[in-house]
Chains A and B, each alone.
Chain A
Amino acid sequence: MAFEHKHMLGLEGVNRDDLLFILDTAKSFKEINTRKVKKVPTLRGKTIVMAFFEPSTRTKVSFEMAAKRLSADTYSIGSSGSSVVKGETLLDTVRNLEAMNIDMVVMRHKSAGSHRFLSRHIDAPFLNAGDGGHEHPTQGLLDILTISEHKPSFEGLNVAIVGDIAHSRVARSNIHGLTTLGANVRLSGPMTMMPRYVERLSDRISIHPRVEDALTDVDVVMMLRVQKERMPKHLFPSDREYATTFGLNRENVRRAKPDAIIMHPGPINRGVEMTPDVADGERSVILEQVNNGVAIRMALMYLLMGGN
C-alpha cells in the first residue's frame, strides 16, 4: 500500500489503515534491534537533523538510535548550542539547515503547532518529536504498538488515561490513535487539568472525575507524567494529595482487569503518578514501551523518506 504522508505531525486525522501499516512496518524493524549487528543500509546517504529545542534525553537517544540503525547521518542541534539563543528566529534556523540539503527534520519544540508553522515555509519532511501540549505522534504509536503486543484487538478495548490531560501531548496522540483503531478511552485526573470539550474529539471518549471509576475493568492503564514545568501552581494542592487521590497504587490497580497492562510515557515521578511496586510490578510494560520507541521511529523515518 502507499503511505501518502509527507510529514508526521500528529495522529489526528491519520486513518486506521495507515496506523496499522506503521505498526506492521515497526514490527518488521524490531527484529533488527535484536541482531548482533544492529544496522541496515536502508537510509544510507540520507541526512536527518535532530532539532530538540526542549530538553530531552530518552526521546532524543531513541530517534538517534533509530536513524543510525538505518544508516542515516544525523546532526543534532538544541536551543543551548544553536543560534536560537543568539536571537535567531526558529524559521531562520531551520531555513539555514534546509539550505544544506537535509532529508528530514526531527523536531521537538515547546510551541504547539511549530512544525505546522515551519512546514508552510520549508520543504523538508518533518517528524514531530513533541510540540508543546499538542501531539507526540511517535510516543502515541509506540504506546499503541506496545498495547497491540498484549491485546488481540483494539476494537472495544478500554484504555484509561490518567493525569494531566490538558498539558499532555502524549494524551492527545494516544486519544486520536486509539479511538481511530476502535478503542474506548477513559480520561481521569484532576478536573483542573481536564481540557474543555475533550470528549468532542471522539465519541469513544468518556470523562471520569473519580480515578476509581476510570480504572474499573479496564484493559490498559496509562498514567501520565505530572508536568510541573508546564502548569501554574494551583492546579492541585500537593504531590502527596495527587498521589493519594490520582496516583496508581497496589489497591486501586486491582479495579482494572486482572490482565490489564500498566503504561507510563516516562520519566516517572515515582511516588506521585504511581507507587514503585506498581511501576516495577509484573503488569508494567514501561520498559517495553521504551524498546518499541526505536522501532516505531525507524518505521516512520523509513516511510516518510519514501521507503515503501
Chain B
Amino acid sequence: MIHIKGGRVIDPANGIDKRGDVFIQSGRIVEAAEFTGKRATIIDAKGKLVVPGLIDMHVHLREPGHEYKETVASGCDAAAAGGFTSVVCMPNTDPVCDNASIVAFIRKQAERANGVNVFPMGAVSKGLSGDELAEMGEMLKAGAVAFTDDGKGIMRSDIMRSALEYAENFGVVVCAHAEDHTLSAGGCMHEGYMSTRLGLSGVPAVAESVMVSRDIQLAAFTGGRYHVQHISTREAVELVRQAKKAGLHVTAEAAPHHWSLSDADLEDYDPNFKMNPPLRSEEHVKAVRRGLKDGTIDVIATDHAPHSELEKLVEFDQAANGIIGLETALPLGLELVRDGVLDLPGLVAKLTVNPARVLGLEKGTLSPGADGDVTIIDPELSWVFSREEIRSKSANSPWLEREFTGRAVCTIAGGRIVYQI
C-alpha cells in the first residue's frame, strides 16, 4: 500500500492536472475513500509530478541471444531508473521472436526481473525474412501485443498488405521500421551536406518516406492499423499528418535522439551517435519537433538499443547501429517542455496513454482500478548521466557525462517500488 502525497498529479487520459494524492492498494490505483492502508508507505511528492507509469513501446532487450549487451532483467532495471513501468521489446533477438515459445520465454524472464511490465512485440515475418508471415495469432495468445520487423523494412508490398489485413483479425497494430533497403544500402549516416563533408556514405531521407508513403496507401486500402516506428524525416511526418486528416488508423512515434541531435553532431565520427534511422539534418529535426507539437507524432519511444564496446569501439562505418535511451528519454522530454514544444500533460500523454492506446494496452492512466503503475518525477533535479549511473548493461550513449535537469525519482510498477532515489 502506497500513499503518494501532495504532488502535481497529471493524468492526461482523464484530463487531470492538479495537486492531489494518489493511492495504491493491492497493486491497483484506488480512490481515497477506498484506501484502508494505515501502515501504508507514504511518499511525499511535494514539488514533484505524479504521472501514470511511463510506457516505452520501442526497446531492444537483446534476450535471447545477445545477453552480453542486455538482458530482460538489466533492461528492466534501466527502464525503472528512467521512470518506465512498461516496455515493449522488439523481436530482432537470436533466435528471432517469431513464434509463441520465444514470446513465452521473454515473458518468463520478465517474471524474474524487477517487476517492470514487459510486452514482447512479435515479428511480422518468419525470421524477419520479409517473405512469409509469422504466427501472429499464436504469439498473441502467448502475450505478444503487436508486430514489427523492426531493424528491417518490409520490402515486399504484398507481405505488408497481408500483414495489415491479417492483423485485423486480432485488432492489433502493425508497426513498421520504414526503410527501403535498396535506397539505404551501404549508408551509415544521413545523406546530406554532412555525409558529403565526412566522406561517409549516406542513407537518404527518401529511404524512409517512400516506404511510409507505400504503407499508408496499403493501410488505406486494407483498413489496417499502421504505426510508424522511430519517424525521422520531414516527408514521413507530413505523410502521417495527411493520413490522420484522411481518418486512417495511422500513428507514429519519435525517439529522443531524432529531436535533440542532428547529423552536425557527427563531426568526430563517434559511433555512439550512430543509429538507424540516422541522425538527420536540421530541417528534419525541426519537422519531428513540429510533428510532436501538433500531435502528428503520438508517441515518444526510445529505440533503446544496447551494444557493447565490441560493436561500438570501432571505425564509424563498421560500428553497429543503435544507442541506449531508457534512462535519458524523460529528461530529454522535459527539455521539449522547457523549449515550448510540448506542455507537461502533452509530454506525459506521449509517454503513457498514447502508446497504451496504439497497442490496446489497459495502462497509462491513474483511473481508479487501473494497474498500480506510477512514476514520480522531480522536474528540477540536476544530475549527470555518468557511466556509473547507467543501469543498462551497455553504455553506448551520446549523452555520457552530460548534465540533465529533471528525472524520475520513484518508479512504481504493479504497486511495488522498483526504483527510488
Instruction: Say if the beta carbon of B40 comes within 8 Å of chain A.
Output: no
Q: What is the minimal beta-carbon distance from B265 to any residue of chain A, in angstroms?
A: 13
Please pick, from A112, A135, A195, the residue contacting B269 in the complex, using a CB distance under 8 A.
Answer: A112
Q: List the B side residues contacting A200 at CB < 8 Å.
A: 193, 196
- Kindly state the separation between the CA atoms of A112 and B267 in the bound complex, as whole angstroms: 11
Considering only CB atoms, which chain A residue lies closest to B269 in the complex? A113
Considering only CB atoms, which chain A residue lies closest to B190 in the complex? A196
On whether the beta carbons of B199 and A169 are closer than 8 Å, the reply is: yes
Instruction: Say if the beta carbon of A268 comes within 8 Å of chain B.
Output: no
Instruction: Say if the beta carbon of B313 comes within 8 Å of chain A.
Output: yes
Instruction: Say if the beta carbon of B325 comes within 8 Å of chain A.
Output: no
On whether the beta carbons of B316 and A111 are closer than 8 Å, the reply is: yes
Interface segment among A126-134, A237-245, A254-262: the answer is: A126-134
Task: Please judge, given known A-B contacts A131-B199, A133-B200, A201-B197, whether A111 and B318 are in contact too, CB under 8 Å.
Answer: yes
On whether the beta carbons of B314 and A90 are closer than 8 Å, the reply is: yes
Task: Please judge, given known A-B contacts A112-B200, A134-B198, A135-B199, whether A90 and B315 are in contact too, CB under 8 Å.
Answer: yes
Q: List the A side residues contacting B186 at CB < 8 Å.
A: 232
Instruction: Say if the beta carbon of B162 comes within 8 Å of chain A.
Output: no
Main secondary structure of the interface of B (DSSP, over half): loop
Please pick, from B196, B269, B315, the residue contacting A196 in the complex, using a CB distance under 8 A.
Answer: B196
**0/1 interface trace, chain B 313-324, chain A, CB 8 Å (1 if under):** 111111000000
- Kindly state the separation between the CA atoms of A111 and B274 in the bound complex, as whole angstroms: 14
- Kindly state the separation between the CA atoms of A133 and B191 in the bound complex, as whole angstroms: 14
On whether the beta carbons of A112 and B198 are closer than 8 Å, the reply is: yes
Task: Please judge, given known A-B contacts A90-B315, A116-B269, A117-B315, whether A196 and B200 are in contact too, CB under 8 Å.
Answer: no
Q: List the B side residues contacting A77 at CB < 8 Å.
A: none
Q: What is the minimal beta-carbon distance from B211 to any residue of chain A, in angstroms?
A: 20
Q: What is the minimal beta-carbon distance from A26 to any residue of chain B, in angstroms?
A: 24
The B-contacting residues of A in range 170-213, CB under 8 angstroms, are 172, 195-198, 200-201
On whether the beta carbons of B197 and A196 are closer than 8 Å, the reply is: no
Instruction: Say if the beta carbon of A91 comes within 8 Å of chain B.
Output: yes
Considering only CB atoms, which chain A residue lies closest to B202 in the complex? A196
**0/1 interface trace, chain B 172-209, chain A, CB 8 Å (1 if under):** 00000000000001100001110111111110000000
Task: Please judge, given known A-B contacts A89-B313, A90-B314, whether A113 and B195 are in contact too, CB under 8 Å.
Answer: no
- Kindly state the separation between the CA atoms of A200 and B197 in the bound complex, as whole angstroms: 9
Instruction: Say if the beta carbon of A292 comes within 8 Å of chain B.
Output: no
Instruction: Say if the beta carbon of B388 comes within 8 Å of chain A.
Output: no
Instruction: Say if the beta carbon of A120 comes within 8 Å of chain B.
Output: yes
Task: Please judge, given known A-B contacts A116-B269, A172-B199, whether A132 and B317 are in contact too, CB under 8 Å.
Answer: yes
Instruction: Say if the beta carbon of A108 comes within 8 Å of chain B.
Output: no
Please pick, from A131, A169, A172, A196, the residue contacting B193 in the complex, using a CB distance under 8 A.
Answer: A196
On whether the beta carbons of B315 and A133 are closer than 8 Å, the reply is: no
Instruction: Say if the beta carbon of B339 comes within 8 Å of chain A.
Output: no
Instruction: Say if the beta carbon of B268 comes within 8 Å of chain A.
Output: yes
Instruction: Say if the beta carbon of A114 comes within 8 Å of chain B.
Output: yes
Q: What is the minimal beta-carbon distance from B270 to any residue of chain A, in angstroms?
A: 8
On whether the beta carbons of A91 and B313 are closer than 8 Å, the reply is: yes
Q: Which residues of A contact B (CB under 8 A)?
A: 12, 89-91, 109, 111-114, 116-117, 120, 131-135, 166, 169, 172, 195-198, 200-201, 232
Could you name 7 residue pairs across A and B whose Cβ atoms are closer than 8 Å?
A91-B313, A111-B315, A112-B200, A113-B269, A133-B199, A195-B196, A196-B196
- Besides the contacts A111-B318, A112-B199, what 20 more A-B pairs have beta carbons closer than 8 Å? A12-B197, A89-B314, A91-B313, A112-B316, A112-B317, A113-B200, A113-B316, A116-B269, A117-B269, A117-B314, A133-B200, A134-B200, A135-B199, A196-B192, A196-B196, A197-B192, A197-B193, A200-B193, A200-B196, A232-B186
